């Protein structure tokens, strides 16, 4: 893979059943239990990715025998039966937090010397709380580089369990590691949780997997786990699809107004990240919980406040969805994700900001104030964080020029993410079967007219400027000196005026091609267009036009939202206000640049706040910022996107 993955917008709804790989969290817990167990276990549906390869290598170095079948995503593990001896080995956990934090408490229960280490990224993540807890149990651990960090030298002599206190405020992995190791400690272990516990569903997952391998975990109260000394038995386990990985596809359905089903997840799933679909539901998506599947169908995305303390791995996914929301989205309860693969809060803020999204950081999360008009492509830094790459790529489903740098970082948990996503690109509809409307909406000066006209030529389709229709009514009103505020008179005029739009615009038999663009008509037209009766009369005429011709490139303000909400291809063209003003200024001789700018502002306001069919980004529409692009470049990209939607 190259160093940059350029997203090509889908231009339509994502629909399908993605092939989501096995749960990383369940795989790494099950691999460790199977490796410690007596006998041979079979794990199917497991994840083969960097984080789980780290665990596989680690358990092999501890003496487990592994037979892997990568084709069928399964492994057979012959365990060591609790016989944990090693001499001067180094375990490289790569960048895997679970591998390192699950192994450390296990290693101290064995006999021998071992160094546990990892990538520079893992070296910078905290281990202090787990080290402190293990030292309190008498374990000999030495950090050879920096306190509280890898590498750690372990001189293992077994552990007398008793009682240990541990905080779950930074990472639940510290606690899960102690739980997984507890049966190996003489006398077992009682774990007392102090303070807040983040990601609690992962503790339930640990309990579940331990149960699968025959170990009982008692929980006398919310903050205590009691595990007796004992041994793991072998087991045959079916691993669920990874719920965090699935979140990207559910989000894609929400963003593109598509429909995605993931098989193998359900209400009783052992993974907390399935709760993400409840957030999508609150945002407006339709969620269907099957017996063994979850389906999400996208709709308009609302706003809201969401506490993701229990399923923070989906925070970045939610942040990307929020960029397309109708109102503010607050994500809270996730202060601790600053010490994940990267400082995820800072990363969200800086990368979404680049894409034109207003994001503010709070003490325990972010507030996203979306303004879809401002969305634009950007080169996304991924900070060696697989979740930055996967989540930010979702913006590229609808925003051209989203480039994901270092896309290979997805190998940590989902090596073929981009090809699985690509497989869900909507397939092209044969031209004969479609009313092939390319709906081009956008504010004045966004390049709409030039682009739509040229796109129609490029695609050999008819072109229709619906704005000219409203302008024609405005011209008729000016000619007949009808007061625009007299809405009844204007509506009556719309009913009777004879408008012909082709190369020229003819109003009541007189050429009005120039007149409709004049300052007077331009000034009047937003009032005319805001008149609901005028729209009621003109919109059906616009629909008839396209239906009779079998489709065409149709430009306006409400084509994707009102005139053809089912258009096969919807685009919202935008550009910076300054750029739009300059463009308009070059076209008009009778106004100063500042006058044009003020007029644009006023028209944006009227068009986007009017009660009837306000100018807004149609759900699912591609949002294309043309500020720094030539019309030719925009047309050629749009033509390519359209051809991916309509064939022939």
Q: Known catalytic residues?
A: 313
CB atoms within 10 A of CB 405: 18
Give the start-end residues of each E strand in 50-110.
Answer: 65-69, 74-78, 89-92
Cα 335 to the chain's mean position, in Å? 19
Q: How many Cα atoms sit within 13 Å of 543 on the Cβ side?
A: 15
Decide whether 28 or 505 has the Cβ nearer to ligand DC: 505
Q: Which stretch binds ligand DC (CB under 6 A): 18-26, 466-474, 482-490, 565-573?
A: 466-474
Residues 234, 212: Cα–Cα separation, whole Å: 9
Residue with tokens 């509809």: 429
Decide whether 259 or 557 has the Cβ nearer to ligand DC: 557
Q: Is 466 in the site for ligand DC (CB under 6 A)?
A: yes
Q: Is 560 in the site for ligand DC (CB under 6 A)?
A: no
Q: Restricting to residues 476-495, which ones interact with ligand DC according to CB under 6 A?
A: none
Q: Is 166 helix (H, G, I), strand (E, B) or coil?
A: strand
H/E segment holding residue 321: helix 315-322
Q: Is 571 in the site for ligand DC (CB under 6 A)?
A: no
Q: Is 558 in the site for ligand DC (CB under 6 A)?
A: yes
Q: Which of 387, 471, 583, 645 binds ligand DC (CB under 6 A)?
A: 471
Q: Which of 382, 526, 561, 626 binds ligand DC (CB under 6 A)?
A: 526
Q: Which stretch binds ligand DC (CB under 6 A): 176-184, 330-338, 494-502, 521-529?
A: 521-529
Q: Is 447 in the site for ligand DC (CB under 6 A)?
A: no
Q: Which of 5, 200, 386, 557 binds ligand DC (CB under 6 A)?
A: 557
H helical segments located in 382-517: 386-393, 417-423, 448-459, 466-479, 487-496
To ligand DC, the closest distance from the beta carbon of 445 in angstroms equals 8
Q: What is the DSSP string of 323-359?
A: TT-SS-EEEES-GGGGGSSS-HHHHHHHHHHHTT-EE
Residues 394, 389: Cα–Cα separation, whole Å: 9
Q: Which stretch binds ligand DC (CB under 6 A): 22-30, 250-258, 554-562, 565-573?
A: 554-562
Contacts of 79 (CB under 8 A, 6+ apart): 34, 35, 36, 37, 38, 39, 40, 41, 64, 232, 234
| Total number of residues that touch ligand DC (CB under 6 A) | 13
Residues 121, 18: Cα–Cα separation, whole Å: 30
Q: Is 599 in the site for ligand DC (CB under 6 A)?
A: no
Q: Is 382 in the site for ligand DC (CB under 6 A)?
A: no
To ligand DC, the closest distance from the beta carbon of 517 in angstroms equals 8
β-sheet with 365-369: strand ranges across: 304-307, 329-332, 365-369, 358-362
Q: Is 121 in the site for ligand DC (CB under 6 A)?
A: no
Q: Which stretch binds ligand DC (CB under 6 A): 285-293, 322-330, 429-437, 553-561?
A: 553-561
Q: Which of 129, 607, 616, 625 binds ligand DC (CB under 6 A)?
A: 607
Contacts of 158 (CB under 8 A, 6+ apart): 109, 110, 111, 185, 186
Q: Restricting to residues 427-446, which ones interact with ligand DC according to CB under 6 A?
A: 444
Decide whether 399 or 529 has the Cβ nearer to ligand DC: 529
Contacting positions for ligand DC (CB under 6 A): 444, 466-467, 470-471, 525-526, 529, 556-558, 603, 607
């Amino acid at each position: 893979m190259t160093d940059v993955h350029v997203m090509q917008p889908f231009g339509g709804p994502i629909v399908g059943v993605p092939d989501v790989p096995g749960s990383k969290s369940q795989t790494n817990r099950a691999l460790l239990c199977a490796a410690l167990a007596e006998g041979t276990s079979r794990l199917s549906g497991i994840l083969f990715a960097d984080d789980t390869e780290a665990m596989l290598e680690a358990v092999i170095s501890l003496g487990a025998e592994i037979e892997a079948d990568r084709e069928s995503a399964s492994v057979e593990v012959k365990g060591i039966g609790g016989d944990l001896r090693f001499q001067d080995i180094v375990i490289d956990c790569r960048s895997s937090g679970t591998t390192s934090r699950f192994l450390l408490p296990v290693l101290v229960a064995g006999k021998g010397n071992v160094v546990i280490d990892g990538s520079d990224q893992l070296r910078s993540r905290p281990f202090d709380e787990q080290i402190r807890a293990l030292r309190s149990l008498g374990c000999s651990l030495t950090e050879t580089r920096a306190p509280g960090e890898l590498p750690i030298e372990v001189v293992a002599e077994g552990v007398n369990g008793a009682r240990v206190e541990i905080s779950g405020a930074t990472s639940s992995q510290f606690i899960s590691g102690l739980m997984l190791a507890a049966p190996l400690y003489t006398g077992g272990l009682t774990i007392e949780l102090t303070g807040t516990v983040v990601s609690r569903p992962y503790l339930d997952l640990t309990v579940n997997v331990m149960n699968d391998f025959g170990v009982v975990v008692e929980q006398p109260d919310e903050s205590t786990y009691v595990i007796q000394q004992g041994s793991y038995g072998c087991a045959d386990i079916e691993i669920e699809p990874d719920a965090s990985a699935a979140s990207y596809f559910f989000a894609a359905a929400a963003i593109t107004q598509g429909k995605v089903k993931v098989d193998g997840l359900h209400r009783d799933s052992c993974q907390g990240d399935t709760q993400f679909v409840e957030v999508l539901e609150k945002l407006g998506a339709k969620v269907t919980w099957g017996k063994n599947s979850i389906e999400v169908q996208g709709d308009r995305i609302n706003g809201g406040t969401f506490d993701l303390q229990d399923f923070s791995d989906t925070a970045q996914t939610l942040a990307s969805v929020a960029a397309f929301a109708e109102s503010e989205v607050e994500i809270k309860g996730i202060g601790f994700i600053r010490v994940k693969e990267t400082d995820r809060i800072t990363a969200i803020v800086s990368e979404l900001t680049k894409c034109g999204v207003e994001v503010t950081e709070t003490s325990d999360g972010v507030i996203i104030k979306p303004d879809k008009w401002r969305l634009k492509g950007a080169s996304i830094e991924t900070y060696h964080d697989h979740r930055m790459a996967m989540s930010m790529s979702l913006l590229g489903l609808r925003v051209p020029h989203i480039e994901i740098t270092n896309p290979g970082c997805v190998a940590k948990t989902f090596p073929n993410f981009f090809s699985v996503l690509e497989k869900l690109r909507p397939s092209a509809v044969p031209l004969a079967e479609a009313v092939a409307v390319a709906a081009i909406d956008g504010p004045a000066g966004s390049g709409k007219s030039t682009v739509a006209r040229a796109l129609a030529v490029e695609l050999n389709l008819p072109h229709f400027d619906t704005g000219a229709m409203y302008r024609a009514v405005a011209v008729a009103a000016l000619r007949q000196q009808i007061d625009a505020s007299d809405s009844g008179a204007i509506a009556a005029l719309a009913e009777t005026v004879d408008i012909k739009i082709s190369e020229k615009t003819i109003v009541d038999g007189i050429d009005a091609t120039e007149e409709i663009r004049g300052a007077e008509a331009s000034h009047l037209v937003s009032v005319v267009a805001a008149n609901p009766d005028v729209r009621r009369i003109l919109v059906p005429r616009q629909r008839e036009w396209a239906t009779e011709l079998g489709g065409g490139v149709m430009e306006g303000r409400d084509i994707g939202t009102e005139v053809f909400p089912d258009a096969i291809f919807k685009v919202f063209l935008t550009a910076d206000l300054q750029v739009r003003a300059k463009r308009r200024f070059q076209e008009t001789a009778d106004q100063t640049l500042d006058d044009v700018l003020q007029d644009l502002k006023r028209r944006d306001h009227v068009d986007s706040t009017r009660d009837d069919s306000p100018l807004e980004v149609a759900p699912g529409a591609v949002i294309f910022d043309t500020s720094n692009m030539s019309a030719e470049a925009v047309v050629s990209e749009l033509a390519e996107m359209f051809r991916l939607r309509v064939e022939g």
